[in-house]
Structure 1
């Protein structure tokens, strides 16, 4: 779903550009209409058509148009992302097109730890302290919105640390 981020140039062109940039990753910083359009194509495509979807390049921090090809022989498509089950506006319309909605549940404290480390690793921030700040001021706000406003879910998967799966074990 990251391919449906609005490009940074779009966020910068908004009247409240500072808000859009600081809250990048919030539902309003995604092109929900474009997401719905691709999901409708997937749901209604003739068996001989290829469907293109955008991806996200973390190196340039922007989407890449038509980078993912879904072929006509692919019968199962898994769509992942924060807002696929959000009970709001256009997101709700897209969610209604899925056969099933699954949700990965995680303790917010553990999510905060993972997010802060990821922000440092991705070069979004330079220190773990700044990673925590970004998680607190953006990601966890988004997470609360997702948890409190999600559609009915068919399956909940719990995410937790398992040392048996840790690198180097």
Structure 2
């Protein structure tokens, strides 16, 4: 299904009626457009009902490079095991309780690190869009997140488009063309294939 952003905003607002807090998972492979679409969707919702929506990016739960280095995981940073899935689970449980504001981390891509407490989810934020690669991954420990989502969306983007975007992303970050190809094909696309093959069936596939 391919609703436009305006229709999706209306759909979420309708689904959230009667909920004190409505948590949406927006999952998809690297470079599928999760960050862009989640922020756009949030703006569309807030234009209709100001201040009601906020975004929680899963990238904020990257383990720090110091932790990854101690475990030999820096070369595969971005793989499922390089994220603090339990930390995300705990924060989402706090968000679902809707009894106080919750500070969440946000990943700073140019600095390649997560900034703790960089975004505040307040009681005003009745619709919370959680975006990230592995939110629907059917491999431990990720399935524990499923019960925390009221609606699940999975972005579907053809591999050739993902590859093009990923190469450009690495080039924009200062990698030479050979390194950009290597990282895109041998790291990012490996994760993309895992997400496509091993994610649970979402409530809606969005392409």
The Cα shift of 1:109 comes to 1.4
Number of residue pairs aligned between Structure 1 and Structure 2: 150
TM-score, with structure 1 as normaliser: 0.85
Give CA-to-partner distance per residue, 1:112-160, whole Å, 9 cap, x none.
110010011123x2x23321110111111111111111112111111xx
Return structure 1 stretches of 4+ with deviation > 6 angstroms. none
Contact 1:36–1:90 (Cα < 8 Å) also in 2: no
Contact 1:82–1:146 (Cα < 8 Å) also in 2: yes
Which residue in the other structure is 2:149 paired with?
98
Which residue in the other structure is 1:163 paired with?
none
In 1, the alpha carbon distance for the partners of 2:90 and 2:190 equals 27
Give CA-to-partner distance per residue, 1:38-93, whole Å, 9 cap, x none.
111111232xx100110011222010111110001110000111011111112111
Which residue in the other structure is 1:83 paired with?
134
In 2, the alpha carbon distance for the partners of 1:3 and 1:94 equals 16
Which residue in the other structure is 1:4 paired with?
61
Aligned-residue CA RMSD (Å):
1.0
Structure 1 unmatched ranges of 5 or more? 159-169
Q: Which has the higher strand share?
A: 2
Corresponding residue to 2:190 among 141, 155, 158: 141
Which residue in the other structure is 1:155 paired with?
204
Give CA-to-partner distance per residue, 1:86-117, whole Å, 9 cap, x none.
11112111122101110111111110110010
Which residue in the other structure is 1:43 paired with?
96
Structure with greater contact order relative to length (CA < 8 Å, sep ≥ 6): 2
TM-score, with structure 2 as normaliser: 0.70
- 1:22-37 paired onto structure 2 within 5 Å: 22-37=75-90
